[in-house]
Amino acid sequence: MTMLSFRVADHEANEAQQWAETLGIDRSELLREALRRYLNQLASAGDADRWTATPLDEGERALRQIADWGPAEDWSDWAIDAAR
């Protein structure tokens, strides 16, 4: 692991500490999780553009036909019959 160090306003540091205590975790864990989520958000920001720019190939489009089949048969009534 690499250590990161940065400055924040006192009220933000206090708020982070309060949340960490409320959640029962270390402040470092709270900050790591916040950073991880934000990085994921940034990484996914261009997903829609990449999806549009790279259309599905023939094999991927074939899966749409399966989705058109609709839901599988409902076998839940078998459990009721078996219980009788």
Which residue did the predictor score with more confidence, 50 or 81?
50
Ramachandran quadrant class, 24 (left: phi over 0; alpha: psi -120 to 50; beta: rest): left
Give the per-residue pLDDT at 71.
65
CA distance 33 to 27: 10
In one-letter notation, the amino acid at residue 18 is: Q
68 falls within a domain: no
33 falls within a domain: yes
Residue 80: pLDDT over 80: no
pLDDT classification of 69: cutoffs 50, 70, 90: low
Domain holding 27, by residue range, is: 10-63
Give the per-residue pLDDT at 36.
97
Tell me the per-residue pLDDT of 16-65, one tens digit each, with 9 for 90 and over: 999 999 999 999 999 999 999 999 999 898 888 888 888 888 888 887 77
CA distance 60 to 51: 13
82 falls within a domain: no
- How many structural domains comprise the chain? 1
84 falls within a domain: no
